[in-house]
Structure 1
Amino acid sequence: MKKKILYYLLFLPLIFSLTNCSSKEEFDKYYARPDYLEPPIYQQLEAQGNFNTLTKLIEKAGYKDILSKAGYWTMMAPNDDAFTAFFQEQGIANVASIDSVLASKIVRYALIYNAFRTERLSDYQSRTGWEEDNAFRRRTAYYDGFQTKTINGSPMVVAGSNRNNAPGADYYVPGDNNNKYITYFVDEYMTAFGLGASDYNYFFPNTTYTGFNILSGQTVKADIVAENGIIHEVNKVSLPPINLDQKLEESSKYSLFRELLETNLVQYVFDQDATTTYQNFTRKTDKVYVKVYDPALSFSPNNENYIKESDNDGQNDAYTIFAPENAVLQKFIDDVLLKNYPSLDKLPKYVFEDFFNAHMVKNAVWPSLVAGYSNALEEDIRINMNTNVTEAKVLSNGFFYGTNKIQESNLFFTVYTSAYLDPRFTLATRLYNDGSGYREIISNITGRYTLFLPSDTALRGLGYDYNINRSEWVYTSPSTGNTVTGTLARTSLLRVLYNGIIPTPNNELNDLSGSGIIRSGDFDLAGEYIKWQNNQVWAAGNEVLGNKVNILGYEDQRNGRTYYIDKLLQFSEEPQGLDIKALGTTSGSQFQFFYILLLYSNIYDSATGNIQGVELGTSYTFVIPKNSAIQQAVRDGVLPGNTTTGIPTFIPANQIDKDKVSDFIRYHILATRTASADGLINGLTETLRKSSLGEKTYINIVNAPGDLSFVDSKNRISNYIPSLSNNLADRSLIHLVDNYLLYQE
């Protein structure tokens, strides 16, 4: 058996040899390159006959072998005429004068990963599939790599961030070379987004828009098919553009903008992965530092990628920077930033974060569509593209606009600015900025506001402070010495500061020499009412404590006026029943009969002043009939008492009378809304009274500036008496009216 197996093993190689000889022709024919295949890119360029310079540069760059093999490329190929013009522009004698470095730049930047015919260049390769007409850029084979720069007087090997340095995210991902993108302008994309020749010529005024332009070049012949890709013949040589970071570095017109950015929001961070890659490639021992932009910025200007939420998102969007020229920025520094600070190094870091975010847009801002974009602070762009832009460039990672104007951000030209850019008001600024929503209100440049602003000294004097070590607010009562921290202290201060934010669309508080009442807070989120008289202001708490607020000075901003104050507009912490008591116990008071009814009712606690159903911190309107109106209610049998004299039975003898009094009082307390004669509150408003079935009852408020009325369920009208109304209480107003409100089911 073993001999038989050996026989076959010896005989098999002979069989295979004879078989190979007999079928070699068939084998070669079967696996031969098909005749119908186009030649590879390099050979196709040779065959075209008008790419002689380009093929020589491909050889110098070491890409002949790559472009002669299987692959998947798109090449934006400059023809010989393009190189003739390029040599003249650059002062280059001929192709022999180009070294391998420049040759590599030209060739690699002309190479796009993957093969794209014209009809596909406008489509975005999203992670869910093709998105038609949603792309205007493609990643090329070119990247800058590691560069030696002088940083703070010392040479350093530097790499750019290849991600945006968002909090918690990687700013440098190994294996990502930060490849540059090439931008093209094709009709399909331009039409889909409502763009046209004017957008193209905004960047390239000396080139005609043809419907298929590659940067400042034009496509001469498209869709030349090669075995390993697609060739588009262009009439312009494109060197790799610089990115936004490099543009700021090389342009002296924006050196002040860059200096502020580099000094305050840039770090050079040692990176082991980058160092290992560099040392393996160069055999050198230098360490590599990544230039890292602050994570508070909208994006990293040296990041050639886009957001990287998906691999190809750089195909359909890019970044934009509006960079003000030195002179206009210096004026802004002098007039605004340093109005209250001695030097730039004393400014808080967040000022620089906000300033640069105001000039950054996380999108490619097309000139004709500028009104549709917002900056990183979610503000509209306030740069006039016709008069304020002095330079416009399409760069490798976005659009660059040099300007003769700064972006006039809300943060630097509103009443908010008075606190934000003044070291005397850091506590108020901290609270405005910590998610309270106050910053968004008072920095709204399209509205008009009056801001009553307490200094750090005033806040600390009244017990408020911020513990930096524990990152929490602290309040110590000046009267009791009791201390609360965290949420309780913050909530208290929030309410105090909200009393000082007043919408004044008609500059209602520009003259405080007279007297009046006005509601604080935003129009969408009502605050409490405050009063003014003879250049003093006060809220309900000040009225209780008898400590009116004095005006120390003011500053006008574009959206209103800031008043500097010596005390806080304090809220009241006492029950509204005590305020009614104070009104009702003065000699000859028109509130007297109502107060006595309340005092002896079964819904009032005379010890605390609490009224059943009335909660501190909730909005109410107290509609109190004057004494004669109470008497009329007695005569009408609505309240117990002498129907002839109208004198109420203040101490009801039975439950029926007690219920009459309680229901009467509840029907005159309007819940959830505080109304004054300012036209802000109108319509049906719930009362504290319930029907016999336990359902809510309502009063209709009829309100116009200077006129306030209350209409009951019988359509009877009670008019407020201005001279005795608008009494302040905890989130409440107490009005005197000329009639009582009657509820009947």
Structure 2
Amino acid sequence: MKRKFNYLLILPLLALFASCSRDAFNEFYGRPDYLEDPIYQQLEARGNFKNLTTLIEKAGYKDILGKAGYWTMFAPNDAAFEQYFQDNGISDVSEVDDATASKIVKYALVYNKFREDQLSDYQSSRGWVENTGFRRRTAFYDGFVSKTINGLPKVIVGSNRNGVTYYIPGDNNNKYVTYFAEDYFTERGLTANDFNFFYPGAEYTGLNLFDGKVTEADIVAENGVIHEVDKVNLPKLNLDQYLEGNSNYSTFRSIMEDYLVKYVFDQSATTAYRNYTGKSDDVFVKVYDPTLAFAPNNENYLKAEDNDGQSEAYTMIVPENNALQEFIDTVLLKHFDNVAQLPIYVFQDFINAHMVQGVAWPSKFGDYNNYLKEDLRFNINTDITDKKVLSNGFFYGSSKVQHSDLFYSVYTSAYLDPKYSFATRIFNDGSGYRDMISNIHQKFTIFLPSDNVLRGLGFEYNSLRQEWVYVNPSNGTADGATAARNRLVRLLYNCIVYTPNGELDNIANSSGVIRTGDYDLPGEYIRYDNNRIQAAGNIEKGTYATIVGSDVQENGTAYYIDNVPQFSIDYPGLQGKVIERLATSNTEFNSFFQYLRNSSVYNSSTGKIEGIELGTSCTFVVPNNAAIARAVLDGELPASNNPGTAGERDVVADFIRYHIIVNATASNDGLVTGLRETLRKDEFGEKTYVNIASSGGSLSFKDGTPEATSGGNPAANFILASSNNLADRSLIHLVDNYLKFPKPQQ
């Protein structure tokens, strides 16, 4: 028989148990008594934030700040609002509209909780980095803005990234606040002067939010922390917005707007806008050229890390209209009729010359470089006429233009002249030539062939395929794109000469040979003679490149030429063929050449010398006839220049190899000295060496290896009148003695 229960008796018992259980639950999980009130209640209770709490309600943030969350609020007190009302002609808080209330509240609100001792730290992906932070991201962002662009209404949103990936959906491009804290200043070596440079009438206290003071820090709340401030801040403009609203910089801004800005339709932004507003407009992202250091409308920093905007910001130095217009008229338009004709890279470089991908503090101004890696060439005390701390960086208005290398060097002579676009393209395409010849701290001479000259030599640039074309004008044979470029690169390197002492300033009335390139990457030698220049290829053909004009710049002279210093195209074996021609024209080379011609290292049909590969720089030390005769008498050479035995042929081959210095081209200019490797290897297959001495216009060669002494064989001195003969990446010298391979000491 089943037992029956009286449920009417059980129900009161269940209610009693539930009541006890709820009390225990609330005691365990309820809000602890020791917690401070949330931000809104704290502000309300303190009594000196009545205006702020009114605006918080008007902005719709009472519920948010009165409950959970994790915020830092830079809260302006009532005294701050009284000053704000007075400055803006407002009688009281009731006259502040909803939109302004929202701006004030959101811009005072920083994501995450930061006590005063944390404000100077940077939340990196690797952890907290002390004393490297001076900015924080706020809850305010501009969002979608309606503007008229080129006469058409558009809904615009700003870029939130730099470069090619210019917009990331979901990133609202929140603005930042900037504060000036003692720990950060100490770490960076900054002083109150860095603060007062921007705010000359304000007092630096060791913790300022913009030009206001933090009057009480670390008011702890359940959902964050409050720092009381004595000034109301509306959201700061970003660099893009400040330029738009200031007519003093309209010329600079027009360069960016006309040539470096596009408005690009974005579907994700359009969808978000339509969902939010219910309207049907398309949304366009204002996109800056990806080659710029940064997009001035991007409120984020580089986003290499999520919070890198805490520790860095942008800097832009912008010339006023008058200074920029003078620069345009006297520099940019020297060879152009109007700005619209300038190549796009000129605009890119000019703007980058005025951008710093970091925050340039006033007292450290000289420590920073612009995006072109140049020092900032402004006097911070006399040239800067306007300075602003903006939402995404520092703005400096200037009475002058950055004195950029690109606009005052020998590079400029091609760069700003449309007749030399081929040379400029090579200089700019990663060859490294641009960085070399645009450095105004080093002196260069360059020889500039025009586009027409290069076209006459068979060169063209296919802009559709973005590749070089070369067709030999003599026989119609064509190079592939890479070979065509390499040919032109080598030709133009023959046109660049490092001249620290103005060695070619008097080229119209002097002659000699000189090495092209610079110290780090030596080029080939060219010959100059009364306004004409030659390389090895010109000498083969009996041609010259004649100077037809010049342009003097701050780091040297650009000479305009009607041909190019051509390298030799008679390869392989070019150097051997040059020695053969020298032996024909100058009998002092003949004895050496006869041994060379009959040796095992020489191909008489091609002129190739065994062991000398394409592109090898060499120095040929050719003993004259008397020196060869002494070498025969001393037993260093067989009597016959065409020996019959293998042993004697080996002796001749080693003699010749020891008179060829590889991987170095030595002249009497003092650029190459010391022990240098020869083509000869010893009986163990080890390298052998010759010592080169060059100074005061003299040049000599002495036997020597690191392991052996040379005995008493005198040095071989070059004979100037018959030396410095050009060959493929080589010089050939006639000398008055032979080089004797040192015998190891017993």
- Given the two structures, how large is their TM-score scaled by the length of structure 2? 0.95
Question: Mapping of 1:92-131 within 5 angstroms?
Answer: 92-131=90-129
**Letter of the aligned partner of 2:406 in structure 1?**
L
SS in 1 for 2:488: helix
Q: Which runs of 5+ in 2 are unaligned?
A: 705-709
Shift in Å, 1:617: 2.0
Question: Which region of structure 1 is more displaced relative to structure 2, 717-726 or 51-60?
Answer: 51-60
SS in 1 for 2:292: coil
Q: Map Cα deviations across residues 653-712 of structure 1 (whole Å, 9 max, x no partner).
A: 322322222221111111110000111111111111121222211101111140111111
Is residue 103–residue 140 contact of structure 2 (8 Å, CA) maintained in 1? yes
Q: Which of 530, 546, 549 is the matching residue for 1:550?
A: 546
**Letter of the aligned partner of 2:668 in structure 1?**
A
1:541 counterpart = 2:519: no
Question: Mapping of 1:293-304 within 5 angstroms?
Answer: 293-304=288-299
Shift in Å, 1:7: 6.0
Is residue 552–residue 558 contact of structure 2 (8 Å, CA) maintained in 1? yes
Partner of 1:741: 739
Question: Mapping of 1:205-220 within 5 angstroms?
Answer: 205-220=200-215
Q: Map Cα deviations across residues 204-255 of structure 1 (whole Å, 9 max, x no partner).
A: 1111111101001011111111111111111111111000000110010000
Q: CA 1:515 to 1:214, structure 2 compared with 1: closer, same or farther past 3 Å?
A: same
Q: Map Cα deviations across residues 280-320 of structure 1 (whole Å, 9 max, x no partner).
A: 22222222211111111121111111111222111111111
Looking at structure 1, the residues matched to 13 and 264 of structure 2 have their Cα atoms a distance apart, in angstroms, of 67
Looking at structure 2, the residues matched to 541 and 573 of structure 1 have their Cα atoms a distance apart, in angstroms, of 7
1:684 counterpart = 2:675: yes
Partner of 2:263: 268
1:508 counterpart = 2:503: yes
SS in 2 for 1:585: helix
Q: CA 1:607 to 1:62, structure 2 compared with 1: closer, same or farther past 3 Å?
A: same
Looking at structure 2, the residues matched to 50 and 599 of structure 1 have their Cα atoms a distance apart, in angstroms, of 103
Q: CA 1:8 to 1:270, structure 2 compared with 1: closer, same or farther past 3 Å?
A: farther
Q: Which of 593, 596, 599 is the matching residue for 2:597?
A: 599
Q: Which of 231, 234, 253 is the matching residue for 1:236?
A: 231
Question: Mapping of 1:615-630 within 5 angstroms?
Answer: 615-630=613-628
Partner of 1:581: 580
Partner of 1:644: none
Looking at structure 1, the residues matched to 414 and 646 of structure 2 have their Cα atoms a distance apart, in angstroms, of 58
Shift in Å, 1:27: 4.9
Alignment coverage as a number of residue pairs: 732
Is residue 659–residue 739 contact of structure 2 (8 Å, CA) maintained in 1? yes
Question: Which region of structure 1 is more displaced relative to structure 2, 20-29 or 176-185?
Answer: 20-29
Partner of 1:728: 726
Shift in Å, 1:596: 1.4
Partner of 2:560: 564
**Letter of the aligned partner of 1:517 in structure 2?**
V
SS in 2 for 1:530: strand
Shift in Å, 1:359: 1.0
Shift in Å, 1:9: 8.8
Q: Which of 651, 655, 672 is the matching residue for 1:660?
A: 651
Q: CA 1:585 to 1:220, structure 2 compared with 1: closer, same or farther past 3 Å?
A: same
Shift in Å, 1:32: 4.4
Q: Which of 375, 393, 401 is the matching residue for 1:398?
A: 393
1:342 counterpart = 2:337: yes
Is residue 683–residue 700 contact of structure 1 (8 Å, CA) maintained in 2? yes
Q: Which of 111, 123, 134 is the matching residue for 2:132?
A: 134
SS in 1 for 2:90: coil
Looking at structure 2, the residues matched to 605 and 31 of structure 1 have their Cα atoms a distance apart, in angstroms, of 97
Q: Which of 637, 647, 664 is the matching residue for 1:639?
A: 637
1:694 counterpart = 2:692: no
Q: Which runs of 5+ in 1 are unaligned?
A: 642-648
Q: Map Cα deviations across residues 442-473 of structure 1 (whole Å, 9 max, x no partner).
A: 11121110010111100010111112222221
**Letter of the aligned partner of 1:112 in structure 2?**
V
SS in 1 for 2:601: coil
Question: Mapping of 1:42-441 within 5 angstroms?
Answer: 42-164=40-162, 166-167=163-164, 169=165, 171-441=166-436
Q: Map Cα deviations across residues 420-459 of structure 1 (whole Å, 9 max, x no partner).
A: 1111111111111111111111111211100101111000
Looking at structure 2, the residues matched to 21 and 119 of structure 1 have their Cα atoms a distance apart, in angstroms, of 46
Q: Which of 511, 527, 531 is the matching residue for 1:531?
A: 527
Is residue 690–residue 697 contact of structure 1 (8 Å, CA) maintained in 2? yes
SS in 1 for 2:588: coil
Shift in Å, 1:31: 4.6
Looking at structure 2, the residues matched to 482 and 31 of structure 1 have their Cα atoms a distance apart, in angstroms, of 88
Q: CA 1:479 to 1:224, structure 2 compared with 1: closer, same or farther past 3 Å?
A: same
Q: CA 1:395 to 1:651, structure 2 compared with 1: closer, same or farther past 3 Å?
A: same
Is residue 72–residue 228 contact of structure 1 (8 Å, CA) maintained in 2? yes
Looking at structure 1, the residues matched to 513 and 8 of structure 2 have their Cα atoms a distance apart, in angstroms, of 114
Looking at structure 1, the residues matched to 634 and 647 of structure 2 have their Cα atoms a distance apart, in angstroms, of 16
Is residue 573–residue 616 contact of structure 1 (8 Å, CA) maintained in 2? no
Shift in Å, 1:257: 0.4
SS in 1 for 2:569: coil
Cα RMSD between the aligned structures?
Answer: 1.7
1:472 counterpart = 2:467: yes
Question: Which region of structure 1 is more displaced relative to structure 2, 701-710 or 548-557?
Answer: 701-710
Shift in Å, 1:268: 1.2
Is residue 703–residue 742 contact of structure 2 (8 Å, CA) maintained in 1? no
Looking at structure 1, the residues matched to 481 and 198 of structure 2 have their Cα atoms a distance apart, in angstroms, of 53
Shift in Å, 1:345: 1.2
Shift in Å, 1:532: 0.8
Shift in Å, 1:604: 1.6
SS in 2 for 1:633: helix
- Given the two structures, how large is their TM-score scaled by the length of structure 1? 0.96
**Letter of the aligned partner of 2:493 in structure 1?**
Y
Partner of 1:645: none
**Letter of the aligned partner of 1:628 in structure 2?**
A
Is residue 86–residue 236 contact of structure 1 (8 Å, CA) maintained in 2? yes
**Letter of the aligned partner of 2:476 in structure 1?**
G
Looking at structure 2, the residues matched to 582 and 133 of structure 1 have their Cα atoms a distance apart, in angstroms, of 72
Is residue 472–residue 485 contact of structure 1 (8 Å, CA) maintained in 2? no
**Letter of the aligned partner of 2:312 in structure 1?**
D
SS in 1 for 2:305: coil
Looking at structure 2, the residues matched to 569 and 323 of structure 1 have their Cα atoms a distance apart, in angstroms, of 42
Partner of 2:707: none
Is residue 40–residue 229 contact of structure 1 (8 Å, CA) maintained in 2? yes
SS in 1 for 2:505: coil
SS in 2 for 1:524: coil
